[in-house]
Chain A
């Protein structure tokens, strides 16, 4: 699993790649916890190269979303793979997160609405 990130127009774009499961989920959690309180409240999760996610991974997505929303920000999801989209839909988290077809669209929407 790899995490790659950049800041663009005040939005933190984070690409989570590979396979996210209970074994490595703490790494993702630590990555976001380190950035809490750093004025990085607006996050786009680029899931275009995330091939696998389990319930632990979903739980971390929910957790970082709650933290950001509590501080006036949000987490949006961009370009989930079919495998990831399926579990988001089964758990109805697709109704909780705003999902965009691309990182560019998710970031652009942040910039025009917040």
Chain B
């Protein structure tokens, strides 16, 4: 089992996604499966920081990966405030929302999702993705930029947003 320990700060989101991509490539997930898992784990990590630790940067979030029964299993664990989550409570998709899609996306982008909370403190989110044995061609590469390839925005650093003004016409 592999583990990643990071402080409860959103600045780590990008490195968590890279770590998930590496776990996905090692497990043989397809490019699309890895991309799905990056979004789902990113949502879990964000929830740990924002809701578990209420944006207090002094906490620790642990992310683990393992292969269990033909699934790549990612666990996101925190020791923040426990919060009860009703997984059957989906957002009303008939109207657009400014929030509330996170757990819904986690459900749709994984093959199985469990959220264990309600202990003295802390939450454990378990995200499973079935390791398929097709899509050979895609499995070799992983998602675009998934492993930290520089690409067109190669010079940027995490946490920095660049705003440039183009021509006015």
- By a beta-carbon cutoff of 8 Å, the part of chain A in contact with chain B is 1-9, 13, 17-19, 21-24, 27-28, 31, 49, 51-52, 54-56, 58-60, 62-63, 65-66, 83, 86-87, 90-93, 96
Chain B interface, number of residues (Cβ within 8 angstroms)? 45
How many whole Å from B98's CB to the nearest CB in chain A?
4
Secondary structure at chain B's binding surface: helix, strand, loop or mixed?
Answer: mixed
Docked-complex contact B93 and A92, CB < 8 angstroms: yes
Docked-complex contact A23 and B101, CB < 8 angstroms: no
Let me know if B46 is at the binding interface, CB within 8 A: yes
The 4 closest A-B pairs by CB, nearest first: A6-B166, A27-B161, A23-B10, A55-B101
How many whole Å from A21's CB to the nearest CB in chain B?
5
How many whole Å from B164's CB to the nearest CB in chain A?
5
Given contacts A91-B104, A91-B105, 12 further A-B contacts (CB under 8 A): A3-B162, A7-B168, A17-B153, A49-B152, A59-B101, A63-B98, A65-B96, A83-B35, A83-B144, A90-B104, A91-B93, A91-B101
Docked-complex contact A2 and B99, CB < 8 angstroms: no
- By a beta-carbon cutoff of 8 Å, the part of chain B in contact with chain A is 10-11, 13-14, 17, 35, 38-39, 42-43, 46, 49-50, 91, 93-94, 96-102, 104-105, 108-109, 143-145, 151-153, 156, 158-159, 161-169
